Amino acid sequence: MAELKPILLVEDNPKDIELTLAALDQCQLANTVVVTRDGAEALDYLHARGAHAGRNSGDPVVVLLDLKLPKIDGLEVLERIKSDPTLRHTPVVMLTSSREERDLVGSYRLGVNAFVVKPVAFSQFFEAIRDLGMFWAVLNEPPPGGASPVGPP
Amino acid sequence: MNGPPQRVRRERLDGGCDREPIHVPGSIQPFGTLLVIDPADGRVVQAACPPGSSVLAPGDPIGRPLGEALADGAGRELARLLERVPASGAGLLGLVRPGGIPHHVIGHRSDGMTVIELEPSGPDSSGTDRSGADPSGASGHGGFDEVHPHVRDFLDAVQKAASIDRLCALAAREVRRITGLDRVLIYRFDPAWNGEVIAEDRNDRLPSYLGLRFPAADIPAQARALYRLNRLRLIPDADYEAVPIRPAANPRTGRPLDLGLSVLRSVSPIHREYMRNMGTMASMSISLLREGGLWGLISCHNRTPARVPYQVRVACDVIGQVLSLQLAATETAAAAEHRNALRGVHGRLLAAMASAEHFVGGLAARPDDLLALTGASGAAVVTGGRVVRIGAAPAETDILKLVDRLAEGGRDDVFVTDRLADAMPGGEAIKDTASGVLAISISQLHDSYLLWFRPETIHTVTWGGDPRKVPSPDDPTRLSPRTSFEAWRETVRLTSPPWRSVEREAAAELRTAIVDIVLRKAEETAALSERLTSINKELEAFSYSVSHDLRAPFRHIVGYAELLKKFEGERLSERGVRYVDTIVESAVSAGKLVDDLLGFSQMGRAALAPVPVDMNALVAEVRRRLAPDLGERAIAWRIAALPPTRADPMMLRLAMQNLVENALKFTRGREPAVIEIFADQGPEETVYRVRDNGAGFDMAYVEKLFGVFQRLHRVEEFEGTGIGLANVKRIVERHGGRVWAEGSPDGGATFSFVLPDGHDTSGDRRWRS
């Protein structure tokens, strides 16, 4: 197996970062996790530019994207990824506190691969992260140039 | 002497009494002498002098200078008085003594000429027997100092007279006292120019006319016009021999002389015949004017010929004017008082309308005030085809017919009649409630009216002679004045008391107020809806931010507590572990509260999309969704066939799910739990019910049941945030329905709801109470 692609986590809240990393850690995935703190930085990483110009790590296997982000918010990052021919096959999972229907509808219209409302109970959160990480990082190799894979519910 | 009388006759054949040119009779009455002077050269151009008079100097006066025209050189004195002739109207110039007899000189201008009339100032020598006349007033010069004693008493008394009737009675008595005539009437015109005798003072030589009504034809239009111009007329002897004016046409103007302002003017032969028919040989009348219009007359009669001297006539004129002023003041005061009272009524109606949701409700809430505003016994408000009846009003269908009729006639602001039978075909049928109608249009756009009604008031009018016996226009004898003054009673039907101008004004003012209120309400509604929209937006932004930001800390608490337990659990005591567990549990339930609250707020904001709903399918779906949570529980479902309804299917399903969840929760421990879902179909509405045999509740707390986060059980007994039933209530009420509950402790509970049937469900019926 070639070098594993990283998981890109886009999250501004340090507590959520720590909790998400702890959850991913328990999945015992071999993938590295790259953390970016806002939408602009995430796009810089994806395009290997700015602070991430000449990055060593490869393109992410999956993007775990928070909805509410400084500078460029999650929906806009999603829109840019899905409208960019070089990035649009990268799976994006929207992670959000919001139960608002309009966020859900907006995300699916923009082509999100999965939408996860962060549960309050940590055990559920852990299960969700684990399932997502396993699915996207291990099981699901995106078909080259093919249609977007279908995500878990 | 051939010209003018023929002219009169021709007029009579052409057009009748109304067109007789009574201001140019071509002759004078014989109680004085008339001279027409050309002011350019001071010479006499026309003259009329009764036979046997010694006023003029011997010989033909025509062409003579005025100074030489009178006997005994009195003309020189007269010529000096000429400068006193007023520019308009007639006035007393002074006294002259032709032939040694004092004469009042009265002058006026007519057609560029100066008209001089000389009237003996002493008591007449015609042998009349005026009783009670003041002899001392008969020899003076007619100045104010002579007139004043006559009117001083009257002026004093007038101040004390409270009512119009008293005032008129007082004036009649005073005029008779100073003139000594047999009968004095105060006569008042109605809007159709019929006259009614409202006060009388008389002796037994002439009959009483008090309370009688005289048809408009008795005093024709051109006579009324003349009465406005010249306030006082005198006919000392109806059987007089008219003295022609010579020459008939003025040589300078070529026209006959206009005697409109003359004292001596000869009257119409028709009028003299009328007087003879009435049995009165002498008459005097004084115009009562109000704001330039003729409202009545002081009409004096004597059975035998009688001449009232000039200065007494002046006193009578003053009395007439004082009476007019006083009457106007009294009426104005009465109207002002009435208007003031109505203003209070108006204010109360206004307040009621302003505080009511709809102005109609405000009016209906104050029926007594609404009727008092116009002195009506019934009223109705018609808006958008709806009728609200107040007091003694006609049936709804009759009111709608009436409104249609009003709309046909254009939307006048105020429509008024005291005889609906004349104004509308079929109006007679509703005479008992609506012989009189006062209606105001309260919308320019649709047929909205406020109407007041008055019932028929049958009353009798006593005419001075049968007014129907006025000759027909084709009758050649029509110019004969009527000969009978026998009182004739007419019963007036289909008529209500007339609407007074104050009442009409009050109605018009109310109309303005209603239009203002309706407009203001519309503006308020627009402003309110704008504000609601903005509040809704704020609320939406608020709950969006809550849903993101409030949940996160709870999530972090739970997350870190779990991590603490996982990595440091071994170092914690048993008690420490229990504390961590409690922290987790509390934060989880706080998170659930936030979620429930957000859900509840969404329920209030989401738009309704009502469609027909199959209730049986809906209940089946709810059961399917809940099945996984039921485990091994023994539940006896009793689901009846449910009629369909119309609702937002998502919301209604949520409501039903909440009710069923509720039933499942509170029947925990029952073996078996019995859950019944059924409907009671009534004639007006269908009640859907969910009944269980669970823990029930105390009816004392039923009000709390549907409140947000209200719980009737301890959380250890039954879990939950207390939002479920609040959601049910919100959903049902947003559909315009009702929800309620019945139960008893340990006796189970029944939750019932009704949804509107999908017909007219707007709350517009509210004000129809």
B93-124: pLDDT as tens digits: 999 999 888 999 999 999 889 999 999 987 65
pLDDT surpasses 50 at B419: yes
Query: Is A119 within 8 Å of B549 when comparing Cβ atoms?
Result: no
User: pLDDT by residue (tens digit) across A58-109?
Assistant: 788 889 999 888 888 899 999 999 999 988 888 898 888 776 777 788 888 8
Mean pLDDT of B176-193: 90
The DSSP code sequence of B203-216 is -TTS---TT-EE-G
Amino acid of residue B491: T
Write down the pTM of the prediction. Answer: 0.54
**Cβ neighbours of residue B278 under 8 Å, at least 6 residues apart?**
B301, B485
Task: Give the chain A residue whose CA is nearest to the CA of B541.
Answer: A100
The DSSP code sequence of B354-401 is HHSSSHHHHHHT-HHHHHHHHT-SEEEEEETTEEEEEES---HHHHHH
B21-35, B133-147, B714-728 — which one is most confidently predicted on average? B21-35
* Residue A144 at interface with chain B, using a CB cutoff of 8 Å: no
Query: Is A16 within 8 Å of B552 when comparing Cβ atoms?
Result: yes
Q: Which pLDDT score, from 0 to 100, does residue B19 have?
A: 58
Mean pLDDT of A118-127: 78
Q: Which of A13, A99, A119 sits opposite B547 (nearest CB)?
A: A99
Which domains, and CATH codes, for chain A?
A: 1-93 (3.40.50.2300)
Task: Output the CA angle B552-B556-B559, nearest 5 degrees.
Answer: 135
Question: Which of B548, B564, B588, B654 to probe by mutation at the A interface, max A CB count within 10 Å?
Answer: B548
Amino acid of residue B752: S
User: pLDDT by residue (tens digit) across B555-614?
Assistant: 889 989 988 988 898 999 999 999 999 899 888 888 888 887 777 777 777 778 888 999
Mean pLDDT of A97-123: 80
Question: Which of A102, A120, A129 to probe by mutation at the B interface, max B CB count within 10 Å?
Answer: A120
Please name the helix (run of DSSP H) or strand (run of DSSP E) that holds residue B184, with its range, or none.
Answer: strand B183-189
A151 CA: distance to closest CA in chain B (Å): 24
Residue ranges covered by each domain of chain B = 22-332, 356-456+499-529, 550-605, 611-765
Mean pLDDT of B617-637: 88
B591 chain-A contacts, CB cut-off 8 A = 120-121
Mean pLDDT, chain B, rounded, equals: 82
Mean pLDDT, chain A, rounded, equals: 80
| Residue A32 banded pLDDT, cuts 50, 70, 90 | confident
Question: Which of B555, B566, B567, B584 to probe by mutation at the A interface, max A CB count within 10 Å?
Answer: B555
B185: β partners: B200, B299
CATH number of B22-332: 3.30.450.40
Task: Give the chain B residue whose CA is nearest to the CA of A103.
Answer: B544
Q: Which pLDDT score, from 0 to 100, does residue A8 have?
A: 92
* Residue A16 at interface with chain B, using a CB cutoff of 8 Å: yes
Rounded-to-integer distance, Cα B601 and Cα B7, Å: 97
pLDDT surpasses 90 at B678: yes
Q: Collapse the DSSP code of B686 into the 3-class scheme (helix H, G, I; strand E, B; otherwise coil) and give the result.
A: strand
Q: Which two tokens stand for residue B147?
A: 């007139």
Count of CB contacts below 8 A, A vs B?
Answer: 60
Query: Is A15 within 8 Å of B559 when comparing Cβ atoms?
Result: yes
Mean pLDDT of B491-516: 86
pLDDT surpasses 90 at B303: yes
Please give the span between the terminal C-alpha atoms of chain A, in angstroms, as a whole number: 28
* Residue A15 at interface with chain B, using a CB cutoff of 8 Å: yes
Q: Collapse the DSSP code of B670 into the 3-class scheme (helix H, G, I; strand E, B; otherwise coil) and give the result.
A: coil
A124 chain-B contacts, CB cut-off 8 A = none
Amino acid of residue B620: A
Q: Collapse the DSSP code of B744 into the 3-class scheme (helix H, G, I; strand E, B; otherwise coil) and give the result.
A: coil
Looking up tokens 């005093």 gives B219
Rounded-to-integer distance, Cα B510 and Cα B295, Å: 30
The DSSP code sequence of A112-130 is -SEEEEPPSSHHHHHHHHH
Output the CA torsion B761→B762→B765→B766 (10° steps). 120
Task: Give the chain A residue whose CA is nearest to the CA of B551.
Answer: A97
User: pLDDT by residue (tens digit) across B229-263?
Assistant: 888 999 999 999 999 999 989 888 888 889 989 99
What is the ipTM for the molecules in this complex?
A: 0.75
Sheet holding B449-454, edge to edge: B386-391, B378-383, B449-454, B436-441, B414-417
Looking up tokens 């709350």 gives B763
Tell me, what DSSP letter sits at residue B418? S
pLDDT surpasses 60 at B206: yes
Q: Which pLDDT score, from 0 to 100, does residue B487 have?
A: 66
Contact A72, A43 (CB under 8 A): yes
Mean pLDDT of B660-665: 91
The DSSP code sequence of chain A is --PPPPEEEE---HHHHHHHHHHHHHTT-SS-EEEESSHHHHHHHHTT-GGGTT-SS-S-SEEEEESS-SSS-HHHHHHHHHH-TTTTTS-EEEEES---HHHHHHHHHTT-SEEEEPPSSHHHHHHHHHHHHIIIIII-PPPTT-PPPPPP-
pLDDT surpasses 90 at A36: yes
Task: Give the chain B residue whose CA is nearest to the CA of A98.
Answer: B548
Amino acid of residue B239: D
Q: Which pLDDT score, from 0 to 100, does residue A82 have?
A: 92
Radius of gyration of chain A from its Cα atoms, rounded to whole angstroms:
14
Q: Which pLDDT score, from 0 to 100, does residue A140 have?
A: 54
Q: Which pLDDT score, from 0 to 100, does residue B656 have?
A: 93
Same fold across B356-456+499-529 and B611-765: no
Higher pLDDT pick, B95 / B384: B95
**Cβ neighbours of residue B9 under 8 Å, at least 6 residues apart?**
none
B743 CA: distance to closest CA in chain A (Å): 35
Please give the span between the terminal C-alpha atoms of chain B, in angstroms, as a whole number: 81
Q: Is the previous residue joined to B247 through a cis bond, with omega within 30 degrees of 0?
A: yes
B544 CA: distance to closest CA in chain A (Å): 7
Mean pLDDT of B674-695: 91
Q: Which pLDDT score, from 0 to 100, does residue B133 have?
A: 41
A19 chain-B contacts, CB cut-off 8 A = 555-556, 559-560, 563
Contact B34, B28 (CB under 8 A): yes
User: pLDDT by residue (tens digit) across B440-476?
Assistant: 888 766 678 899 999 988 777 777 766 555 444 444 4
As a residue count, chain B comes to: 769
Q: Which pLDDT score, from 0 to 100, does residue B5 have?
A: 31
Q: Which two tokens stand for residue B613?
A: 């709903």
A119 chain-B contacts, CB cut-off 8 A = 555
The DSSP code sequence of B264-294 is SBPPPHHHHHHHHHHT-SEEEEEEEEETTEE
A97 chain-B contacts, CB cut-off 8 A = 547-549, 551-552, 555
In CATH terms, the superfamily for domain B611-765 is Histidine kinase-like ATPase, C-terminal domain (3.30.565.10)
Query: Is B563 within 8 Å of A122 when comparing Cβ atoms?
Result: yes
Q: Which pLDDT score, from 0 to 100, does residue B297 have?
A: 92
pLDDT surpasses 90 at B660: yes
* Phi, psi (rounded to 5 degrees) for B141: -105, 0
> Which region among A118-132, B68-82, B190-204, B346-360 has the lowest average model confidence (pLDDT)?
A118-132
| Residue B741 banded pLDDT, cuts 50, 70, 90 | very high
For residues B34-62, one letter each, b for 16 or more C-beta atoms within 10 angstroms of the residue's C-beta and e for the rest, the string is bbbbbeeeebbbbbbbbeebebbbeeebb
Amino acid of residue B29: Q
Task: Give the chain A residue whose CA is nearest to the CA of B601.
Answer: A100
Contact A94, A116 (CB under 8 A): yes
Q: Which pLDDT score, from 0 to 100, does residue B760 have?
A: 38
Instruction: Name the maximum alpha-carbon separation found in chain B.
Output: 158
Picking from B267, B257, B205, B270, the residue whose alpha carbon sits closest to that of residue B235 is B267
Query: Is B547 within 8 Å of A98 when comparing Cβ atoms?
Result: yes
Q: Collapse the DSSP code of B28 into the 3-class scheme (helix H, G, I; strand E, B; otherwise coil) and give the result.
A: strand
User: Could you tell me which CATH class the domain B356-456+499-529 is placed in?
Assistant: alpha beta
B449: β partners: B382, B441
